[in-house]
């Protein structure tokens, strides 16, 4: 008979990327604090993404996923998030018109703070220190203090993820993602791109489609399908204590969901 799964089942199994925290009491306190924080994403959003990925697997949609290898606390800004979101929309518009199928947009953002490493330590100038495992674990500066895993960084990762998700949701549903905007951004990209000739045809098709909609009395601004977009986030679930703290039971189904983003 197989064991019943629980969010802490991983603790009884081998795990390769778990940091060696010197202060286990501080780590436990942080994980308990995180467990009481609100979820970053909701079960309904996870189910919606699952259905969308089912369409991708069935060949009925295209998956566009991308982002940084690891997010940085220092580079967190509204401008960087906006530029990331804007680039994603540009790519999605091109893929939608070129492929003639829906594009499921999944950004590697709002939680991509852990970094897998092939070795637990690294050397520099004869000095050996713990490897940099991402801002959620330690700092990239090559000093003993900076490289010591600090559980309090998980709290900052949570706060930054929450702020990023809040802004992305606003961009996705507040009108910034409307098709007219995405089209204008793509026109600028086409003009400055060395491969501009490859995109001119798609750009012209979008222009014709928008002009046709207006000609027959359909205002793109008045339709949610052209004003908003679905945008999902993802990250590598490497720091399992953090993921455990963010795993919650959905009150409507009784099922477990990792709500870390």
Residue 92: exposure state from Cβ atoms within 10 A (0-12, 13-18, ≥19): buried
Residue 133 confidence (pLDDT): 98
Tens digits of residue pLDDT in 185-222: 666 665 666 666 666 677 777 777 777 777 887 776 66
Residue with tokens 């969308």: 52
**Whole-number pLDDT of residue 193:** 63
**pLDDT tens sequence across 130-143:** 999 999 999 999 99
Average pLDDT over residues 148-170: 98
> Which has the higher per-residue pLDDT, 209 or 38?
38
The more confident residue out of 184 and 190 is 184
Q: What mean pLDDT comes out for the span 63-90?
A: 94
* Contact in structure between 182 and 227 (CB atoms under 8 Å): no
Mean pLDDT computed over 109-134: 96
Helix 179-192 / helix 78-99 crossing angle, nearest 10 deg: 90
Considering the chain, what is the average pLDDT of its residues? 90
Query: First-to-last CA distance in the chain?
Result: 32
Q: Decide which of 159 and 95 is more confident.
A: 159
Question: How far lies 80's CA from each of 22, 72, 161, 167, in Å?
Answer: 34, 11, 14, 11
The domain at 17-177+228-258 falls in which architecture?
A: Alpha-Beta Barrel (3.20)
Give the pLDDT mean for 4-11.
94
Mean pLDDT of 108-124: 96
Task: For residues 80-94, give the mean pLDDT.
Answer: 90
Question: pLDDT at position 225, please?
Answer: 64
Please state the rounded mean pLDDT for residues 58-77: 96
Local confidence band at 94 (pLDDT 50, 70, 90 cut-offs): confident
Pick from 250, 235, 261: which is nearest to 65 by CA?
A: 235
pLDDT digits (tens, 9 = 90+) for 218-237: 776 666 666 688 999 999 99
**pLDDT of 188:** 64
């Amino acid at each position: 008979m197989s064991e019943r799964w629980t969010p802490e089942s991983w603790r009884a199994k081998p795990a390769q990327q778990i940091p060696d925290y010197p202060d286990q009491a501080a780590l436990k306190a942080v994980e308990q604090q995180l467990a009481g924080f609100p979820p970053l994403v909701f079960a309904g959003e996870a189910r919606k993404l699952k259905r969308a990925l089912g369409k991708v697997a069935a060949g009925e949609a295209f998956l566009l996923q991308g982002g940084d290898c690891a997010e940085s606390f220092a580079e967190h800004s509204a401008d960087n998030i906006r530029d990331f979101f804007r680039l994603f929309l540009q790519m999605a518009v091109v893929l939608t018109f070129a492929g003639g199928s829906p594009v499921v947009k999944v950004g590697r953002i709002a939680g991509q703070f852990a970094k897998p490493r092939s070795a637990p330590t690294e050397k520099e100038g004869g000095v050996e220190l713990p490897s940099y495992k991402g801002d959620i674990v330690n700092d990239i500066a090559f000093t003993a203090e900076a490289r010591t895993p600090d559980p309090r960084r998980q709290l900052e990762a949570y706060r930054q993820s929450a702020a990023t998700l809040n802004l992305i949701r606003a961009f996705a549903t507040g009108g910034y993602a409307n098709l007219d905007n995405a089209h204008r951004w793509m026109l600028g990209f086409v003009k400055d791109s060395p491969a501009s000739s490859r995109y001119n045809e798609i750009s012209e098709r979008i222009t014709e489609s928008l002009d046709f909609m207006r000609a027959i009395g359909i205002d793109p601004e008045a339709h949610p399908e052209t004003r908003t977009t679905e945008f999902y986030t993802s990250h590598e679930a490497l720091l399992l204590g953090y993921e455990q703290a963010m795993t919650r039971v959905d009150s409507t189904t009784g099922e477990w969901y990792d709500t870390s983003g």
